[in-house]
A and B are shown apart, each in its own frame.
Chain A
Amino acid sequence: AQKVTQAQTEISVVEKEDVTLDCVYETRDTTYYLFWYKQPPSGELVFLIRRNSFDEQNEISGRYSWNFQKSTSSFNFTITASQVVDSAVYFCALSEETSGTYKYIFGTGTRLKVLA
């Protein structure tokens, strides 16, 4: 069955530290998509990245980087030199082609607190 696990419930770091948020997924599909979203205190989910199952290239965008490894079914997210504005809840999500709708299956989220 499809599932997304974010084992880290809450992480606290001091500003400028690097932090990695873990995401492990389960799916039987060969074609699927993985996403990371940020949910700041305002509540709106903000899209960060999309990755499809055929593209295992890691990606870097500024201070953000993502490591996709199909062999371990993981799609981890690293923030380099964290800032207070990075404080939010981060969600990993899975979307399967066979769902027919591409609906998201979300993890339970990781709350990141960056302390000044």
Chain B
Amino acid sequence: GAGVSQSPRYKVAKRGQDVALRCDPISGHVSLFWYQQALGQGPEFLTYFQNEAQLDKSGLPSDRFFAERPEGSVSTLKIQRTQQEDSAVYLCASSQSSSGVSSYNEQFFGPGTRLTVL
């Protein structure tokens, strides 16, 4: 399909384990966002990439969270030494627009990865 895909869809980790979540954005989309959605809440911004450059990581909750997009397409969100409070759905979104342009397109979201930390 032509949408945003994420893998795995579900991940169960023991506290202290490292996890890696993958996002395949829509082909050609410049902008890529990661959001964290806790149960019963709205998504909250984690980080933003414009092509391969990480321009905003202000939403990452701690230095255990790390994201990369080395070739400007696929992105990986890594969480080290997972804690129970990291349990959430992690959403990836992509957009055609980049920062600094006058017009703006909406973000397209993937299905998310549900992370459960035991």
Residues on A facing B (Cβ under 8 Å): 4, 33, 35, 37, 42-47, 50, 52, 91, 93, 95, 99-109
Contacts and interface: CB of A to CB of B under 8 A. Distances in A.
A45 B35 CA distance: 12
A43 to B, nearest CB: 5
Contacts, number: 66
Chain B CB within 10 Å, residue with most, of A43, A93, A108, A109: A43
Contacts of A99: 56
A101 B104 contact: no
Would you list the 7 A-B pairs with minimal beta carbon distance, nearest first?
A106-B42, A45-B109, A101-B48, A103-B45, A44-B111, A101-B56, A47-B106
Interface stretch (B17-25, B65-73, B77-85, B91-99): B91-99
Give the interface residue-count category, chain B: 20 to 34
Nearest to B59: A103
A35 B108 CA distance: 12
Contacts of B50: 101
B55 A101 contact: yes
Contacts of A107: 42
6 contacts: A37-B109, A101-B50, A101-B99, A102-B97, A103-B33, A109-B42
Contacts of A33: 104
Contacts of A52: 104
Contacts of B48: 101, 103
A43 B42 contact: no
Contacts of B56: 99-101, 103
Q: Which of A37, A100, A101 has the most CB of B within 10 A?
A: A101
Given A101-B48, A104-B45, A43 B112 contact: yes
Contacts of B35: 104
Given A42-B111, A45-B93, A103-B33, 7 more contacts: A4-B42, A45-B91, A46-B109, A50-B105, A103-B45, A104-B33, A104-B35
A108 B104 contact: no
Nearest to B107: A104
Contacts of B111: 42-44
A88 to B, nearest CB: 14
A35 B106 CA distance: 8
